[in-house]
Structure 1
Amino acid sequence: MKIRVIGGGLAGPEAALTAARLGCEVDLYEMRRMVNGTPHLTPAHQTTEFGELVCSNSLKSESPNTAPWLLKEEMRRFGSVLLKIADETAVPAGHALAVDRVEFSRRIEAAIEAEPRIRVFRKEVTSLDSDECTIVASGPLTSNALSQEILRITGSQHLAFYDSISPIVEADSIEMERVYFAARWDKGTADYINCPFTREEYDRFLDALLSAEAAQEKEWEKLDYFESCLPIEVLASRGRDTLRFGPMKPVGLTDPRTGKWPYAAVQLRKENLRADSYNLVGFQNHLKYGEQARILRLIPGLENAKFLRYGQIHRNTYICAPALLDESLRLRQQPNILFAGQISGVEGYTESIASGMLAGLYAARLAAGAEPIPVPRSTALGSLVHYITHSDAKDFQPANITFDLLEPLEEDLRKKIRDKKERRRIQCERTLAAFDAWNAAQLQNA
């Protein structure tokens, strides 16, 4: 039983480790590599390591009865390897699961090296064989050659949009007397650094941002951003208060020195356990580096900031999953080829790992000569897959896990239970029960 997995980001290693655990021999391909001592990378990656996190280091909320928590809880119950590694490499981040990105990648690499059923090939894949069980998890920066091959076998135009990367600042360069530690609404521990703005400071920052020079676009670029991950300059152009209701929202961030909320605030989150660097939460942008240095130093507390990384924009390629995939992530016309990760139409780290986990399971069953048992719609995993495989193909956009994707409660129950938190608790309870039943069936059919 042999499976080919293309991509060494998040979905690929999870798929490979899942399939190997189920008894399959796996060939794992990654095009990032060292050639004569020189790294061959993508425009967004900085290393050749598996599982490199190129944007935030957060896998979102760990608060019970939230949609991100629910998805992770299902993954933990199934035995997701990468989520286990994320738990082991977690750094303080209030009520979110954030990881030390260097240690996270290192442990993924170690897990793959320790698995005798996985062989790693550092080379670009440019062709797909419909007779070979293959998981395409090549990610948002799929090479041009592989993109053309996907286009050839699908016969359908796949789409592209641009995702973005937040800046990272050295901890020692933050003016600590100008900032304060707090978690929004005091949820979890106070692990975030908050940079408070007065109205005058906010207006000065906004004016500088609106007049900033964007990074030069290449001729082939069409900036079609993911609505949930917009650059700050795009948000700012929509109105003077847009940032105050988005990444600079001050609500729930009480300044202990004043007992009040600031007019606006920028939050900084730890990059690693040493706490020697912080990323600017939600501050992805498409500005020239010199402009970023000038404007970001207008943030209170960052007047003398040293930036380890500036914000960037990178291409994010994905297929039109509703037109192409079935509920077991297979191409309908080429059922030996599966898609997982961001190229399949899911958005976010956790969602990518989750789809890789499912693809590894489904591919293992295919390799064994059996039909996959798709995760039911009544689960969080199933709801995510249902979205990417049943949306309107004409207007399809990638999605994170949200309660909107889950099966709603019955109307009479929604009317009876007015409290939103209680409704969501019941919804999560039902969802996990459905997942446990499906997971038990997988064990019986293993």
Structure 2
Amino acid sequence: MSNSRKIRVIGGGLAGPEAALTAASLGCEVELYEMRREVDGKPVLTPAHQTTDFGELVCSNSLKSESPNTAPWLLKQEMRRAGSRLIALADETAVPAGHALAVDRVEFSRRIAEAIAAEPRITVIRDEVKTLDFGDDALTIVASGPLTSDALSTEIAKLTGAEHLAFYDSISPIVDAETIDMDRVYFAARWDKGTADYINCPMTREEYEVFLNALVTAEAAESKEWEKADYFEGCLPIEILAKRGPDTLRFGPMKPVGLRDPRTGKTPWAVVQLRKENLRADSYNLVGFQNHLKYGEQAKVLRLIPGLEDAKFLRYGQIHRNTYICSPRVLDERLRMKERSDLFFAGQISGVEGYTESIASGLLAGLYAATVAHGEEPVPAPRQTALGSLVNYITQADPKHFQPANITFDLLVPLEEETRRKVRDKKERHRMVCDRALAAFDDWWATQNRNPNKDSFDWRNSVRAGV
């Protein structure tokens, strides 16, 4: 094991630490680079980050659904079976969030830092990486995230031979729990599914119309270098959604369906949901309320929400750039650069979208790089699995229309036509897809490195044993 090639991981967000911890657990020496650091006692940050912590969650604190037989649940189940360190830490730092896996973001970051510090094979280097030509035989995993520095972005663009793409993402506001008027809100989970962990701010039709008018007329923050922001469709600012039609928000983040007010027995015209930020429940984020308004405008508009009239906002929404490569042109199914076999990509820069998806790509990149580091060729995750389907999308999509994606059933291999005709119930079909995926995952995992050579490196057992 000591003769394996060193692995260099660039990025301390979600994919990077997952890749580093995975590769280190497989006996590899790892250097983990993070450009956020302290210089002369002052933090050097990105436009979106507020700390230098590993795994800082800059948007919501949710890793999506834990409802069985949903696509996000399936992806996390596969990752749990693969021994994902960050998913395990997310489970340990979970806060009540109905049927979703949400974490105490501060505790989550702290646990990641502890795990990295406890791993003797990981060396942390707080510095900006500006080149990918290191002049050694180490393998490199680029997990620099959506806010990759200009210098490294330029370097990656030169290597890929393709123009970088970019979309713009937004951050939701966070409110001080003590400033919420609890007489005007109620606790409930949609359709009473899971525990009633969400605070719901109900709106009448009149209140909604006043809010909507204020939202669409509010002044946006200055765009500076981006005149025409190319937003990611899965995370649009609420003011953009509102301008698409008067009912767009009511069918989106303010959808009241399944959220009956227990005090009146009626379903409100619209609802704003608040989700716990931490176990202390002293702060809540406004679910789906990412925006790009001036802070003063946000204060005026958001205080029109029932229960938030006197709210203190701990953080306002903001916009930041998300940068990613055109993976279908650049990467193979092992997340390895087609033109440079020592270079892997993971996280949002590789074209996945979302916390869980970023961790998943980091897990795979760590596994694949470690396997190569030990002189073997990695076997990609099967297409039938959520892991394999996610990678299949980012490496096989139409490069002309490539856009980052979350894990959905649309990415998974559909059931055979005959089965779809026989099984009409959508939930049952999803269950069948999940069962097939987990079976395929187990078969893949159980057969890794069945090399008759007694010196062959068994990374499967090493990960599960936490070697």
**TM-score with structure 2 setting the length:** 0.95
* Aligned counterpart for 1:81 among listed residues 59, 78, 85: 85
User: What is the rounded CA distance, in whole Å, between the counterparts of 1:42 and 1:191 in structure 2?
Assistant: 32
Distance across 1 between alignment mates of 2:177 and 2:426: 39
Aligned-pair CA distance for 1:221: 4.7
- 432, 442, 446: which one aligns with 1:440: 446
Q: 1:214 and 2:242 equivalent?
A: no
What code does the residue aligned with 1:331 have? Answer: M
The match for 1:428 is 434
Corresponding residue for 1:372? 378
1:354-369 mapped onto 2 (5 Å cutoff): 354-369=360-375
Q: Quick check: 378-387 or 213-222, which moved more?
A: 213-222
Deviations 1:34-53 (A, max 9, x none): 11110000000000010000
Segments of 4+ moved more than 6 angstroms: none
SS of equivalent to 1:73? helix
Partner SS for 1:336: strand
Deviations 1:132-181 (A, max 9, x none): 31000000000000000001111111101111100000000000000000
Counterparts of 1:5 and 1:353, CA distance in 2: 14
Aligned: 1:158 with 2:150: no
CA distance in 2, matches of 1:221, 1:278: 32
Following TM superposition, by how much is the alpha carbon of 1:129 offset from its aligned partner in structure 2, in angstroms?
Answer: 2.6
CA distance in 1, matches of 2:156, 2:402: 18
Confirm or deny that 1:243 pairs with 2:249. Answer: yes
* 2:269 corresponds to: 263
Ranges in structure 1 where 5+ consecutive residues have no aligned partner? none
Question: Aligned partners of 1:444, 1:138: CA distance in 2, in Å?
Answer: 33
Question: Deviations along 1:257-305, whole A, 9 cap, x unmatched?
Answer: 1111100000000000000000000000000000000000000000000
1:7 aligns with 2:6: no
Pairs within 5 Å for 1:14-93: 14-93=18-97
Q: Which amino acid aligns with 1:433?
A: A
| 397-406 vs 366-375, which moves further | 366-375
* Structure 2 counterpart of 1:180: 186
Give the match's secondary structure for 1:120.
strand
Amino acid at match of 1:117: R
Measured in 2, the distance between the counterparts of 1:158 and 1:349 equals 21
Sequence identity (%): 78
Deviation at 1:444, TM superposition (A): 3.7
Cα drift, residue 374 of structure 1: 0.7
Residue 309, structure 1, aligned to residue 315, structure 2: yes
Work out the CA distance in 2 between the residues paired with 1:271 and 1:255: 23
The aligned counterpart of 2:115 is: 111
Offset at residue 366 of structure 1 (A): 1.2
Q: Which residue of 2 aligns with 1:123?
A: 127
1:349 alignment partner in structure 2: 355
The match for 2:391 is 385
Task: Name the counterpart of 1:404.
Answer: 410
Partner SS for 2:97: coil
Q: Does 1:228 align with 2:234?
A: yes
- Count, aligned residues: 446
- How far residue 370 of structure 1 moved from its aligned partner, in angstroms, is 1.3
Q: Quick one: distance in 1 between partners of 2:424 and 2:290?
A: 37
Query: Which residue identity is paired with 1:155?
Result: G
For residue 335 of structure 1, report the CA deviation from its aligned partner: 1.2
1:254 offset after TM fit, Å?
Answer: 0.5
- What is the CA-CA distance between 1:220 and the residue it aligns to? 4.1
| Structure 2: 5+ residue stretches without partners | 452-457, 459-467
Return the offset for 1:442.
2.4
TM-score, with structure 1 as normaliser: 0.99
How far does the alpha carbon of each residue in 1:6-62 deviate from its partner, in whole angstroms, 9 at most, with x for none?
A: 000000000000000001000000000011110000000000010000000000000
Q: Which moved more, 1:406-415 or 1:220-229?
A: 220-229
